[in-house]
Structure 1
Amino acid sequence: MFEKHDSSSRTPCEPGREAPDDASLHEVLAEWPQVIARVRAEMDRGTDPVHEAVRSLAERWMELVSVFTGGDPGMDLWLRAMHQQPAEGAAKHGVDPRLFRYIGRAMAHLGVDTMKVYLDDERPTPEGWVPVRWPEEAISLLEGGQVAELSLDHDLGDDEHGTGYDVLLWVEEAVATRGFVPPRMRVHSANSSARLKMEQAIERIERFVRERGNG
C-alpha cells in the first residue's frame, strides 16, 4: 500500500498550484507524525471526533496537507500523501484504517468534499480518484460516509487477504442491516467471471435500496 517517498520524483502539481519547496516539505514531514500521534491519543481516549479538540487537529492536518499537495486540501490528495509515507513510518505513527475513519469523521464536520475511491493493485489511479490497495481500506473510507463513487477490481494479488467482492459483501450487509446508503459503484476487473459476480452483487444492492425506498 505504501510507497517510499522520494522528493526527487514527486508528482508535479496541477497547473496553477505551487509545488512545495524542500524546506516546507521537510517541516510538514517533521510535524505530521506529531499531529497523527495527538489524533491517535484523542481516539484512544474516546473523544468524539466532532469535539473541538479533534476538529482543531483535523484543521491542522489539512493545513499540512495543503502544503504537501501544493494547495489542494481535498481528502483525495490527503490520502495520496499518506500513501507516500514509508511503510515503517506508517506503522510507527499509527496510520491505519481505524485512524482514517476517526479523522475522516472530524474532517466531515469541516466540510471536506466527498471522494471517489479506486480499489486496485496494478492499474494507474484515474485523475481525481483516491487509490486504495486492500478491501479493508476501501471499507474504512466507506464507513466514514464520504465516498460518493466506488470502482472495484477483483483480483488484488492475494485472495486470502481479500478481493473486491469482499467490499461488495460488506456494502450489501451494511445496506440490509444498518440502512447504509451506498455510493455509486462499478467494476473495472478484467476477470470476467468475477466481474459478473460483482455486477450481480451491485444489482442486488441497488434493488434492495429501491425496494427500501418504496417501502
Structure 2
Amino acid sequence: MQQLTTFSTRNKLDICLAESVSKLLEQAINLKGQASIAVSGGSTPQGFFKLLSHCDIQWSKVTITLADERWVAIDSKDSNTRLVYENLLQNKASAAHFFHLKQGESLNDKTLNELNIAVNKGLLPLDVLILGMGEDGHTASLFPCSEQISQGLASDNNNALLSVLPKTAPYQRISFSFSALSQSKHIFLHLCGEQKQQVLTKALQGNDVFTMPIRAFLHHDTVKTQVYWAP
C-alpha cells in the first residue's frame, strides 16, 4: 500500500524528506542505540542528501548503505558509493558509518555469501529506506528485464543481497532483494518530474510486479510506502 504526498517544488520535498528521515533515525537511536538507512543513487536524491548531511543527529550511531550498487570502481562516475560520499557523507553526516556493497574485485558466490552474513548480522532490518524508480518501473536493481527478477521479488528469498545482470542497463549490479527491503520500518519512494509521475500512474494502475517491480512496494498489503513527488 502507498500514500502519496506531492510538493510544489523539489526543494520543499527535499526539506520535508530530510526532516522526516532525521527524526526517524534519531528515534531509532534513542530506542536501540543505533540506526540504519539505505539510500538510492541517481540525480534525484542529491539535494536531499546535502540537506540531510547538515541535520543535527547522532551520526556516529548511524550506518548508511545503498539499496543497490553497480559493480564499478568507487571513483567511477557511475558509482553510487561515490555519489553518497560526495553528497551525503559530508558535514555532520561525515561521522556516520558506511556499509559498502561493493567489496572485492569479483561479485561471485563467495562475496555474496560474506556480504549476506554481514548485513543480516548488523544491518537488517533497516530503519529507513529511500527508494528511487526507473522509467521501466525498476527499483533498486530489481530490473524487469533481468533473469534474476523472480529471485529478487520472491517474498521467501532468504538472501538479502543478489547479483543482477540487467539486459537494458550497463554493468553487473548488487542489490538488496524485495524480501529484505520490505522489512524496512519506514519506506519512502522519492520521485521528481512529470515523466516519473506518468510511470507512477502506470504502476498504480496494474498489479504485475514482474513488468514493473516497483509495484511490489506500492500494492503489498502490509508494506507501507510513502511516495514523495515534486515536479
Same fold by TM-score greater than 0.5: no
TM-score range, shorter chain: 0.3 to 0.5
Query: Which structure has the larger Rg?
Result: 1
Structure with higher RCO (Cα < 8 A, 6+ apart): 2
Q: TM-score, normalised by structure 1?
A: 0.34
Scaled by the length of structure 2, the TM-score of the pair is: 0.32
Query: Of Structure 1 and Structure 2, which has the larger fraction of its residues in strand?
Result: 2
